């Protein structure tokens, strides 16, 4: 199975391309993660789409794609540090 090893990626779903980051959570002693979209993902969507298409993907091919550093640097994220402890 192919997996994106990066903390940041482009999530294509419902013909949209959102820049997301992985957020780790500890709940009841269990560890899991989810992907959180950048606050300005819609501003970055055209660049994200171009990056996906440059990798041979398309907006009708849902999945996680590599996100170029230039796009990551333009993304704005909620303030957070380390793992989230969810009670």
DSSP string, 51-74: HHHHTT--TTS-EEEE--HHHHHH
pLDDT of 21-40, one tens digit each?
998 888 888 888 889 999 99
The C-alpha R_g of the chain, in whole angstroms, comes to 14
Predicted model pTM = 0.81
Taking the C-alpha atoms of residue 44 and residue 40, their distance in angstroms, rounded to an integer, is 7
Mean pLDDT by 10 residues, the chain (87 residues): 65 97 85 91 98 97 95 88 50
């Amino acid at each position: 199975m192919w997996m994106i090893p990066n903390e940041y990626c482009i999530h294509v779903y419902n013909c949209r391309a959102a820049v997301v980051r992985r957020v780790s959570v500890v709940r009841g002693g269990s560890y899991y993660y989810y992907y959180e979209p950048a606050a300005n993902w819609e501003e970055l969507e055209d660049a994200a789409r171009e990056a996906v298409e440059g990798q041979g993907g398309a907006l009708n091919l849902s999945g996680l794609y590599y996100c170029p550093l230039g796009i990551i640097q333009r993304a704005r994220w909620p303030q957070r540090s380390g793992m989230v402890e969810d009670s």
